[in-house]
């Protein structure tokens, strides 16, 4: 029997592209129907559409599909575990006393934005390499300082993402694939180094972190033993966090786990109290644990040939950078990073905002953060105030990912696993860009955070990436 | 003045409070405002913005506060009222359908999709159609501006998978009794149709319904399928499917006269189905059709009559008369013509359906000699700038042709341009009769008769004021089951003074009777 005759015996199920009233007419007739919110591939950019088509040739697509399934498998089978703390100088590969790590793709001092410059200068003063801002600025420009992205050193940093030699860092290991990741301790809100603040208040806090809190927490973790981060992040998602902008539940869970150990350390009660209070007073403590957990999860998918899954998304405040699993760690696809659509703290407006900055969107890369917005009704007001908006954002992300999570689930979507494994091809095909929940830094150094909101990676990052994929594996 | 209100041990989410702060600041008389919990950050912000009025030191992290720098006490009570209003506001639920961005997304929602309707811009249409065929989904491609090379490639691909690839430029289909795009609610029955024309398909299927017959399937092919370049790939595939379909007893083919070679192959295949086949090559030569033992229709209406007769086991005969009876029609036409002023000579055909326009011209060309048009039968009768220019002698316009649809929807969706033209023609003292179609059904405007009836009323009034009588003849294409309703549509038009004929062919013949009397 021909397919047409088979159709005559089936119940009609219509998919509509284009004029929406044709779909509405089907709905009126109670026909099964789906309307596709169709847009031309890559906004009608024929060159990019050709790259996509090239990659979709059956024999190549088969390889890509298999590679992306492997990438998804590695992401889902990752087992990030908090193993302890050390200092950047001790632990981070290729770290030297004059190295400064920053967020995002590579960027030279001349091209750094205000808050990143502020944080660099603050870092130099904190390390004792400069005595004041003027000296710090001269030193930064002198060529004597090695600037390098955190991502090149198994590290991630929120906002400016500055890591210097003496800073204490959390150490997370992906036990399944033996990848390591490091991240500094979160300083808190307000005037902090990661937002480019660099005055005495900031240095005092950084010093207390290094001298007072770090030894206590390090010992507490030694007493406690390893902590399974995947389980803890999964629990936080079920308690109203989305893993990027809301970290209240995760921070609470961490403290519940190690509180006793803090008080079992050999330090004075006063010092124990101070360390506990430092972790507890900052809702975002857990962000700096989620980030390295995601980082060591995603680093395991490099070196899968033909995979079009995004392994890294990050921004340095000037540019947004993307790396693709199948193209390796050395190829960055960058474009000017965008401004954040969001809510501002009283006294600040869009005029004050810096461009999108920070490594924290490693969370979205792994399938949490904005991708789990529906899990966090407490912050959906950033997206327009209605829970449905957050659900729509999270639902849309399934259109651009290879699959769905197993551990990270969204209660309101009937515990559906979050959209996981951003596929460059699908981003190009759908025109849907990943959604990122993030903070807004002031454009000038020294001020700090001025708001929070939503942002997307620039489309050009994905266009450049798909061109490179087609160039590497395609025929054209 | 700086004002402060503290509510002890009241908790609100910080994001909610940021939104409220933003709104409150917009109130008249408010210079700065901060609504929040007494966290360290908010206390610092209050200090920095100078909102830490007296008593602020009492605020703790567990307290909610409203602080504002405002002109008067009244303004501050407005601020507090606004804060309370926003805190207690429950947003209305916005629950809309989720529209996935891709076919893959659609398939996740509905894995059994088997028919695609595609109306995206032409230059992207082939790619979308191909992606559907890849997934074994039959395609109805409404888009035009698809190249003939793309059409051929798509149809060859579809044929290799035995899938329907209806179109491009296919506006009408009825699959499993579901009207798709521009189609009518037609009784189900045993007549299977394959049509290369949209309004042609609507006319035949609607008249089948009126005559008490019914349709098993109505498949479209798009207007170019029977050109030599395509070779009737979809016509053949459709014929084959209807031949094998047990529910189809009679087959009806509707098309403009095809390329000779294609016609031969097709008629041969039609004969080989072993089922009775009615063929309507609009304005074509019936002899070639009858040579194959098939039934040639002389009009779209006649195709419906013949198909219904065969379906009922009766002998089909040419229908070239009037439902009201020949004599009465002659009488009525004479009466219409008798009321006209001496200068009224010409017919102005104003159509929304291209095939209906073409059919009417072909029926009248013998009598009129020349018909000027944007879709002329002879190249020399082509009207330049039909949209903005005036009509010449006997003029027929297809408002669905490209010239009229640049930057606006098809006239079956938006009939306003045609309605304006009805009035314009009434101002021309040479206009004797206006012939128009009114196509209803799914896809069409929700009440196309309303617009047309208004225009007819105005047109008749204008002519009357000028001492003329304007005759308006309308054909309604559609069924009683259509959302707009055939009878309701007809009544609206008759009340405006139009003579409504039950088919396009009868309307054209009636116009000829009027012309005979001028």
Q: Residues in chain B, how many?
A: 518
Nearest by CB to residue A385, choosing from B19, B49, B176, is B19
**How far apart are the CA of A97 and the nearest CA of chain B, in angstroms?**
33
Q: How far apart are CA A305 and CA A328, in angstroms?
A: 9
Could you check whether the bond before residue B168 is cis, i.e. omega within 30 degrees of 0? yes
**How far apart are the CA of A350 and the nearest CA of chain B, in angstroms?**
13
Given a cut of 90, whether residue B117 has pLDDT beyond it is: yes
Q: How far apart are CA A353 and CA A450, in angstroms?
A: 7
Classify domain A80-294 at the CATH topology level: Enterococcus faecalis V583 fold (3.90.1710)
Q: Please, which pLDDT band fits residue B48 given cuts at 50, 70 and 90?
A: confident
Higher-confidence residue: B339 or A342?
Answer: B339
Please state whether beta strands A310-316 and A179-184 pair in parallel, antiparallel, or not at all (unpaired): unpaired
What pLDDT score was predicted for residue B94? 37
For A233, the token pair is 């992040």
* Coil, helix or strand at residue A458: coil
Given a cut of 80, whether residue B425 has pLDDT beyond it is: yes
Those of residues 472-501 in B touching chain A at CB distance below 8 A are: 483
Query: Measured between beta carbons, which residues in chain A are less than 8 angstroms from residue B217?
Result: 8
For A168, the token pair is 């204490």
Does the beta-carbon distance from A25 to B179 stay under 8 Å? yes
Q: How far apart are CA A400 and CA A404, in angstroms?
A: 11
Taking alpha carbons only, the member of B286, B288, B287, B316 closest to residue B302 is: B316
Kindly indicate whether the ipTM for this predicted assembly is greater than 0.90, answering yes or no: no
Chain A interface includes B97 (CB < 8 A):
yes
Give, rounded to a whole angstrom, the gap between the first and last alpha carbons of chain B. Answer: 89
Does the beta-carbon distance from A15 to B22 stay under 8 Å? no
What pLDDT score was predicted for residue B89? 65
What pLDDT score was predicted for residue B423? 96
Does the beta-carbon distance from B19 to A15 stay under 8 Å? no
Rounded to two decimals, what is the model's pTM? 0.76
Nearest by CB to residue A3, choosing from B33, B113, B163, is B163
pLDDT digits (tens, 9 = 90+) for B259-307: 889 999 999 999 999 999 999 999 888 999 999 999 999 999 999 999 9
**How far apart are the CA of A393 and the nearest CA of chain B, in angstroms?**
11
Query: Measured between beta carbons, which residues in chain B are less than 8 angstroms from residue A52?
Result: none
Q: Please, which pLDDT band fits residue B91 given cuts at 50, 70 and 90?
A: very low
Q: How far apart are CA A338 and CA B233, in angstroms?
A: 51
Those of residues 10-39 in B touching chain A at CB distance below 8 A are: 13, 15-16, 18-19, 21-22, 25, 32-34
Taking alpha carbons only, the member of B237, B117, B249 closest to residue B190 is: B249
Chain A interface includes B113 (CB < 8 A):
yes
**How far apart are the CA of A423 and the nearest CA of chain B, in angstroms?**
14
Chain A interface includes B178 (CB < 8 A):
yes
Q: What is the pLDDT along chain A (476 residues), one digit of tens a residue?
A: 689 999 999 999 999 999 989 999 999 999 999 999 898 888 888 899 999 999 999 999 999 999 999 999 999 999 999 999 999 999 999 999 999 999 999 999 999 999 999 999 999 999 999 999 999 999 999 999 999 999 999 999 999 999 999 999 999 999 999 999 999 999 998 789 999 988 999 999 999 999 999 999 999 999 999 999 999 999 999 999 999 999 999 999 999 999 999 999 999 999 999 999 999 999 999 999 999 999 999 999 998 999 999 999 999 999 999 999 999 999 999 999 999 988 888 889 899 999 999 999 999 999 999 999 989 987 777 656 678 788 888 888 999 999 999 899 998 888 889 999 999 999 999 889 999 999 999 999 888 888 889 999 999 999 999 999 999 998 86
For A210, the token pair is 């290094």
Residue B3 CB partners (closer than 8 Å, separation 6+): B53, B67, B68, B69, B70, B73, B76, B79
Chain A interface includes B41 (CB < 8 A):
yes
Query: Measured between beta carbons, which residues in chain B are less than 8 angstroms from residue A430?
Result: 101-102, 105
Q: Render B328-396 in DSSP notation, one character per residue.
A: HHHHHHHHHHHTS-TT--EEEEEESSHHHHHHHHHHHHHHHS--EESS-SSGGGBPTTTTTS---SSEE
Does the beta-carbon distance from A2 to B240 stay under 8 Å? yes
In chain B, the residue whose alpha carbon lies closest to the alpha carbon of A245 is B15
Percent of chain B residues past pLDDT 70, beyond the cut: 97
Nearest by CB to residue B119, choosing from A4, A19, A379, is A19
**How far apart are the CA of B247 and the nearest CA of chain A, in angstroms?**
10
Does the beta-carbon distance from A8 to B32 stay under 8 Å? no
Does the beta-carbon distance from B95 to A388 stay under 8 Å? yes
Q: How far apart are CA B440 and CA B448, in angstroms?
A: 7
B442-468: average pLDDT: 96
Does the beta-carbon distance from B15 to A432 stay under 8 Å? no
Residue B291 CB: number of other CB atoms within 10 A? 12
Query: Measured between beta carbons, which residues in chain B are less than 8 angstroms from residue A28?
Result: 442, 483
Q: How far apart are CA A115 and CA B242, in angstroms?
A: 71
Nearest by CB to residue A399, choosing from B101, B119, B180, is B101
Does the beta-carbon distance from A190 to B110 stay under 8 Å? no
**How far apart are the CA of B324 and the nearest CA of chain A, in angstroms?**
34
What pLDDT score was predicted for residue B93? 39
What domains, with CATH codes, occur in chain B? 2-88 (3.30.70), 103-169 (3.40.50.720), 187-320 (3.40.50.261), 326-516 (3.40.50.261)
B71-89: average pLDDT: 86
CATH of A55-76+302-473, one of 3.90.1700.10, 3.40.50.150, 1.20.1090.10, 1.10.520.20: 3.90.1700.10
Does the beta-carbon distance from B115 to A14 stay under 8 Å? yes
Radius of gyration of chain A (CA): 23
For A131, the token pair is 């005595």
**How far apart are the CA of B122 and the nearest CA of chain A, in angstroms?**
11
Chain A interface includes B510 (CB < 8 A):
no
What pLDDT score was predicted for residue A476? 62
Query: Measured between beta carbons, which residues in chain A are less than 8 angstroms from residue B13?
Result: 378, 381
Q: How far apart are CA A331 and CA B511, in angstroms?
A: 74
Q: How far apart are CA A86 and CA B510, in angstroms?
A: 97
Q: Render A307-341 in DSSP notation, one character per residue.
A: --BEEEEEEESSEEEEEEGGG-TT--EEEEPPPPE
Does the beta-carbon distance from B162 to A2 stay under 8 Å? yes
Does the beta-carbon distance from A381 to B19 stay under 8 Å? yes
Beta strands in A325-448 (DSSP E): 333-336, 341-344, 357-358, 401-410, 416-422, 436-441
For A427, the token pair is 């981003």
* Coil, helix or strand at residue B66: strand
How many secondary structure helices (H) and strands (E) does chain A include? 17, 17
- How many interface pairs between A and B have CB atoms less than 8 angstroms apart? 192
Long-range contacts of A309-312 (CB under 8 A, 24+ apart): A309/A68, A309/A71, A309/A72, A309/A75, A309/A402, A309/A421, A309/A422, A309/A423, A309/A424, A310/A365, A310/A422, A310/A423, A310/A424, A310/A434, A310/A465, A311/A365, A312/A151, A312/A362, A312/A365
**How far apart are the CA of A343 and the nearest CA of chain B, in angstroms?**
7
Strand arrangement of the beta sheet that strand A227-228 belongs to: A179-184, A168-174, A80-87, A227-228
Pseudo-torsion of CA B358, B362, B367, B373, nearest 10°?
Answer: 30
Q: Render A200-260 in DSSP notation, one character per residue.
A: HHHHHHHHHIIIIIHHHHHHHHHHH--EEHHHHHHHHHTTT--SSS--HHHHHHHHHHHHH
Q: For residues B473-489, b (16+ Cβ closer than 10 Å) or e, as one string?
A: bbbbbbbbebbbbbeeb
Q: How far apart are CA B518 and CA B504, in angstroms?
A: 21
In chain A, the residue whose alpha carbon lies closest to the alpha carbon of B114 is A13
Q: What is the 3-state secondary structure (H, E, C) of B434-476?
A: EEEEEECCECCCCCHHHHHHHHHHHHHHHHHHCCCCCEEEEEE
* Coil, helix or strand at residue B216: strand
Does the beta-carbon distance from A385 to B162 stay under 8 Å? no
For B90, the token pair is 């429950």
Name the residue with tokens 């950019």: A45
For chain A, give every domain's residue range: 3-38, 55-76+302-473, 80-294
Does the beta-carbon distance from B120 to A190 stay under 8 Å? no
Enter the DSSP assignment of B284: -
Does the beta-carbon distance from A2 to B25 stay under 8 Å? no
């Amino acid at each position: 029997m021909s397919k047409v005759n088979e159709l005559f015996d089936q119940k009609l199920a219509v998919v509509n592209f284009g004029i929406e009233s044709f779909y509405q007419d089907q709905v009126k007739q109670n026909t099964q129907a789906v309307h596709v919110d169709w847009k031309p591939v890559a906004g009608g950019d024929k060159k990019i559409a050709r790259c996509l088509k090239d990659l979709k040739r059956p024999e190549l697509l088969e390889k890509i599909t298999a590679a992306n399934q492997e990438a998804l498998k590695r992401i889902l089978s990752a087992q990030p575990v908090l193993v302890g703390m050390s200092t950047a100088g001790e632990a981070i590969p290729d770290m030297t006393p004059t190295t400064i790590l920053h967020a995002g793709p590579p960027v030279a001092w001349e091209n750094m934005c205000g808050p990143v410059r502020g944080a660099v200068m603050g870092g130099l003063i904190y390390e004792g390499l400069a005595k004041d801002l003027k000296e710090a600025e001269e030193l930064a420009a002198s060529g004597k300082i090695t600037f390098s992205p955190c991502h090149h050193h198994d590290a991630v940093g929120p906002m400016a993402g500055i890591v210097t030699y003496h800073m204490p860092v959390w150490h997370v290991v992906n036990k399944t694939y033996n990848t390591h990741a490091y991240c500094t301790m979160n300083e808190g809100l307000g005037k902090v180094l990661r937002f480019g603040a660099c005055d005495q208040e900031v240095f005092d806090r950084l010093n207390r972190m290094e001298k007072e809190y770090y030894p206590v927490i390090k010992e507490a973790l030694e007493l406690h033993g390893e902590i399974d981060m995947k389980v803890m992040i999964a629990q936080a998602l079920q308690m109203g966090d989305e893993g990027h902008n809301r970290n209240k539940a995760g921070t609470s869970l961490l403290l519940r786990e190690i509180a006793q150990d803090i008080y079992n350390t050999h330090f004075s009660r006063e010092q124990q109290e101070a360390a506990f209070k430092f972790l507890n007073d900052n809702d975002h403590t857990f962000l700096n644990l989620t980030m390295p957990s995601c980082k060591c999860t995603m680093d395991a998918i490099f070196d899968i040939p033909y995979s079009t899954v995004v392994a890294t998304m990050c921004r340095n405040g000037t540019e947004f950078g993307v790396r693709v699993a199948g193209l390796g760690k050395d190829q960055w696809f960058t474009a000017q990073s965008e401004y954040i659509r969001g809510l501002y703290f009283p006294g600040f407006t869009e005029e004050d905002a810096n461009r999108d900055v920070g490594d924290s969107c490693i969370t979205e890369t792994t399938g949490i953060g904005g991708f789990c917005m529906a899990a966090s009704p407490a912050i959906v007001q950033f997206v327009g105030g209605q829970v449905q908006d957050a659900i729509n954002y999270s639902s849309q992300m399934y259109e651009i990912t290879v699959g769905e999570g197993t551990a990270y689930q969204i209660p309101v979507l009937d515990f559906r696993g979050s959209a996981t494994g951003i596929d460059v091809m699908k981003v190009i095909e759908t025109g849907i860009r990943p959604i990122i929940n993030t903070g807004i830094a002031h454009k000038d150094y020294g001020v700090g955070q001025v708001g929070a909101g939503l942002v997307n990676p620039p489309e050009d990052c994905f266009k450049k990436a798909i061109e490179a994929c087609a160039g590497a594996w395609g025929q054209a | 003045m700086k004002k402060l209100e503290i509510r002890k041990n009241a908790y609100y989410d910080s994001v909610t409070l940021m939104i409220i702060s933003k709104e409150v600041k917009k109130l008249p008389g408010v210079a700065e405002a901060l609504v929040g919990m007494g966290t360290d950050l908010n206390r610092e912000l209050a200090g920095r913005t100078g909102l830490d009025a007296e008593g602020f030191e009492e605020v703790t992290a567990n307290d909610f506060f409203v602080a504002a720098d405002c002109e008067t006490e009244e303004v501050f009570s407005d601020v507090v009222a606004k804060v309370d209003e926003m805190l207690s506001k429950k947003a209305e639920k916005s629950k809309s359908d989720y529209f996935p961005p891709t076919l893959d997304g659609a398939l996740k929602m509905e894995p059994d999709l088997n028919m695609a309707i595609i109306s995206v811009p032409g230059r992207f249409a082939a790619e979308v159609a191909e992606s559907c065929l890849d997934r074994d989904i039959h395609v109805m491609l409404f888009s035009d501006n698809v190249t003939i090379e793309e059409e051929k490639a798509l149809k060859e691909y579809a044929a290799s998978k035995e899938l329907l690839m209806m179109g491009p430029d296919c506006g009408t289909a009825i699959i499993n009794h579901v009207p798709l795009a521009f189609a009518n609610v037609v009784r189900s029955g045993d007549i299977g149709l394959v049509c290369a024309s949209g309004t042609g398909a609507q006319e035949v299927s609607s008249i089948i319904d009126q005559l008490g017959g019914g349709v098993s399937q109505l498949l479209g092919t798009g207007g170019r399928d029977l050109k030599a370049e395509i070779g009737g790939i979809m016509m053949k595939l459709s014929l084959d499917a209807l031949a094998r379909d047990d529910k189809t007893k009679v087959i009806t083919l509707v098309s403009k006269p095809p390329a000779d070679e294609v016609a031969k192959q097709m008629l041969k295949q039609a004969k080989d189905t072993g089922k009775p086949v009615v063929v309507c090559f609009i304005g074509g030569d019936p002899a070639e059709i009858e040579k194959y033992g098939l039934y040639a229709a002389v009009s779209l209406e006649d195709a419906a009559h013949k198909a219904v007769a065969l379906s009922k086991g009766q002998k089909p005969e040419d229908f070239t008369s009037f439902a009201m009876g020949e004599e009465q029609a002659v009488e009525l036409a004479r009466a219409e013509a008798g009321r006209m002023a001496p200068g009224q000579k010409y017919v102005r055909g104003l159509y929304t359906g291209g095939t209906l326009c073409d059919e009417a011209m072909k029926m009248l060309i013998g009598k009129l000699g020349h018909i000027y048009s944007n879709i002329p039968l002879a190249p020399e009768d082509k009207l330049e700038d039909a949209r903005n220019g005036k009509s010449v002698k006997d003029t027929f316009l297809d408002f669905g042709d490209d010239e009229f649809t640049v930057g606006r929807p098809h006239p079956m969706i938006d009939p306003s341009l045609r309605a304006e033209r009805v009035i314009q023609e009434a101002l021309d003292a040479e206009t004797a009769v206006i012939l128009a179609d009114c196509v209803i059904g799914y896809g069409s405007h929700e009440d196309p008769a309303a617009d047309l009836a208004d225009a007819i009323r105005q047109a008749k009034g204008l002519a009357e004021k000028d001492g003329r009588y304007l005759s308006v003849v309308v054909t309604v294409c559609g069924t009683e089951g259509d959302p707009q309703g055939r009878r309701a549509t007809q009544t609206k038009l008759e009340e405006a003074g139009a003579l409504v004929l039950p088919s396009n062919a009868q309307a054209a013949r009636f116009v000829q009777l009027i012309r005979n009397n001028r």
